[in-house]
Amino acid sequence: MFAKVLVALVISSGLASCSQGFVEFPVTPDQQKTAIENVAIVRLDASNIDTFSQPARGYARSALPVGKASDYRIGSGDLLNVIVFDHPELMLPVGPRGAAEDSGFYVQADGSFNYPFIGEVEAGGRTASDVRAEVAERLANFIPSPQVEVRVAAFNSQRVVVAGEVKVPNSQAITLAPTTLITAINAAGGLTDAADTRAVSLQRGGRLYTIDLAGFLNAGLEQNNPLLRAGDVVTVTRRRAQEAYLLGQISKPAAIDLSQEPITLTQAITRQGGLNETRADARGVFVFRLVNGRMTVFQLETLSPTGLLLGTRFVLEPADVVYVVRSPLSRWNDTISGLLPTVTATRAAQTITN
């Protein structure tokens, strides 16, 4: 309700200012110079339209520290396959399913596992290569030149959570393959239609980062697609409407949502049925915009196709107010329409009297 009242006040004050700043349409360069104080008037034409052809809001670079892929660190709950070539007796018996998980060694809560001959092996926080080197070194006391391979058969110790506006919110294991933000979102079924790619939150180490994922998708900003770490919580927020308001002599005055895609002035007017042909003054299409605390009024003349083409290059911003004024002929017709019943009644009374 407050927003609607505010919009009404802006329009009222804006139109009043403009009516004092110039007498007739279109706004001439001389009249621009004598505009009301604190109100800038810009007449849109071919010489300046490119300035407004891109959304003013750019893509924010992520403040998340840039990471790089690193070797997987084994943790509690991981399952390890330890293979000593030419010594199958050192492998655990394969279970009925024949799966790798049936013949592996689980890393215990203290980060260790027990292996034949050598006993307890510390694995927590170490890479598979580190564990392989220790097992080989210790087995050398029992087997000449052992050839050892250590693999992670099941990744259970490290996970990330993806929640919010994704199709399948879930928890995902960190594996040998690097997990980026976009791969994690894809693994959660992708974004919903209501997702806000401009403000994806990532919680890490007690800090909350806001990531403009659209900056990666649309502008290739690599730092906006960071590598995820164990314990990260990704929340895709719900997109909030960012509206511009179309009022005045438009067929279907309404608020339009700019959050999903850039929308130009001509697109917005066309989607709402175009100008009211019998009432609108095509010379008076105005856009009110607050720029650095100062009201800026853009004027577009749409009497000719050239004006409509210019409008296809003027991108609306959230909180813009588009207002189309009434034509002088329309105001005259309204006045006549209001007078006719009175005139007719007066004449009828005179006829009866006579």
Please check whether residue 165 is in contact with residue 103, taking contact to mean a CB–CB distance below 8 angstroms: no
Domain 79-154 bears CATH identifier 3.30.1950.10: yes
Cβ atoms 244, 255 nearer than 8 A: yes
pLDDT at residue 29, as a whole number: 54
Q: Decide if pLDDT at 217 tops 70.
A: yes
| DSSP SS3 for 243 | strand
DSSP line for 104-157? -EE--TTSEEEETTTEEEE-TT--HHHHHHHHHHHHTTTSSS--EEEEEEE--S
Residues 120-138 pLDDT 10s: 999 999 999 999 999 999 9
Cα–Cα nearest to 211, from 188, 184, 230, 193: 184
Do residues 252 and 207 make contact, with C-beta atoms less than 8 angstroms apart? Answer: no
The distance of Cα 144 from the centroid of its chain, to the nearest Å, equals 60
Q: What is the pLDDT of residues 165-195, one digit of tens each?
A: 999 999 999 999 989 999 999 999 999 999 9
Checking if the pLDDT of 8 tops 50, the result is: no
The Cα-based distances of 30 to 27, 37, 42, 288 in angstroms read 8, 15, 12, 20
- For the domain spanning 2-55+262-332, the CATH number is 3.10.560.10
Same topology, domains 2-55+262-332 and 159-238? Answer is yes
DSSP 42-108: EE--TTTGGGGSS-S--PPPP-SPP----PPPP-TT-EEEEEETT-GGGSPPP-TT--GGGG-EE--
Distance CA 328, CA 7 (A): 24
CATH superfamily of 159-238: Outer membrane lipoprotein wza domain like (3.10.560.10)
Domain ranges of the chain: 2-55+262-332, 79-154, 159-238
CB 297 within 8 A of CB 288: yes
Q: Write down the pLDDT at residue 33.
A: 52
For residue 101, what are the CA distances in angstroms to 79, 97, 130, 195, 219? 7, 9, 21, 37, 43
pLDDT tens digit sequence for 246-273: 998 899 999 998 888 889 999 999 999 9
Q: How many CB atoms lie within 10 A of CB 235?
A: 18
**Nearest residue to 105 (alpha-carbon basis) of 140, 156, 147:** 156
pTM of the complete model beyond 0.95? no
